[in-house]
Structure 1
């Protein structure tokens, strides 16, 4: 492996530890969003994408050791410390004490849960698509605690604050970031046909 793992290496690692279609789609969503945000913060889209792709590496096999097992795996494979730290920081306050400090870490922290909420919102729309969806649709579901209950709104709001972004902007940019992979993540829906 070179200094930074390639996208192919990261994807191979992801699929080595995860067979769940929903977890792989989630990883692809977060990867796309990380790539989308990277230029805004003068980040390397390849590096940010790789971090997004492997952020939940351990979740399928070791949910009770989430982030900790990923840290072990990445360190064993010689991944750069800044990438390992970024991945671990997305569990801050819940499963780790590693606070997101860099822009890459903050974006991962803010958008991880949000991609799940965006996905759930898209799936209940008539088009079942993110291609014709706006932040307004997600905001309508925001206060319905039973809807996509697994998507922690407090973390999303805290992440938006860390980034100095309005919640609506964060949601809108996350949707935009997910659109290039809409087909892969099953969210192109009927909007793709029109």
Structure 2
């Protein structure tokens, strides 16, 4: 199977947008943390998170998104479990790729919440994820105009499908993202 370095090269060859790259790095961090927590294959879970939106910049139409990535990843020899989970995180594929396994459920749960956490951290005066409280994220979730691209229903549904409390899920993902804050542009600025 291709390595994490191979996956990173694939991702950056198709994604030029730094924010989207950072989103995928955020999901990778969360997925690695969940893999450790569940005693799963950290490399496999991390690569799944890293590549989950690798086709989105070039193919943002949800009917193509993940379908194109599945072809790329299949051709490059990626594990079928990675491809399945990536297909399953797009709700349009649920008929053929239902989220019936832990990897798929975790990817779906981590995807949107990383966006909400990032947006919440970036509006803090110091732009740091360190010290970000769950209550701050929950408050921003209620603000309709804030991070409008983040689907609030998916945030709730993701935690439910994974079988975790939403507040605990947010705290867990904040901690995972904090470990790589510099890579995510969330290490803060001098104020």
Q: Give the TM-score category using the shorter length.
A: over 0.9
Give the 3-state SS of the residue equivalent to 1:99 in structure 2: coil
- Equivalent residue number for residue 128 of structure 2: 129
- Preserved contact between residue 17 and residue 57 of structure 1 (Cα < 8 Å): yes
Moved over 4 A (4+): none
RMSD (CA atoms):
1.4
Number of residue pairs the alignment of both structures matches: 187
Decide which of 76, 87, 93 is 1:96's aligned counterpart.
93
Q: What is the TM-score when the length of structure 2 is the normalising length?
A: 0.94
- Preserved contact between residue 41 and residue 103 of structure 1 (Cα < 8 Å): no
- Equivalent residue number for residue 173 of structure 1: 172
Decide which of 55, 60, 65 is 2:57's aligned counterpart.
60
Q: What is the TM-score when the length of structure 1 is the normalising length?
A: 0.92
In the TM superposition, what are the counterparts of 1:33-112 in structure 2 within 5 Å? 33-64=30-61, 65-92=64-91, 95-97=92-94, 98-112=97-111
1:136 offset after TM fit, Å? 1.0
The Cα offsets for residues 139-169 of structure 1, whole Å up to 9 and x where unpaired, read as 1111112110111111111111112211100
- Preserved contact between residue 31 and residue 53 of structure 1 (Cα < 8 Å): yes
Distance in 1, matches of 2:93 and 2:106, equals 17
Distance in 1, matches of 2:144 and 2:98, equals 26
1:5 offset after TM fit, Å? 2.2
Distance in 1, matches of 2:93 and 2:150, equals 18
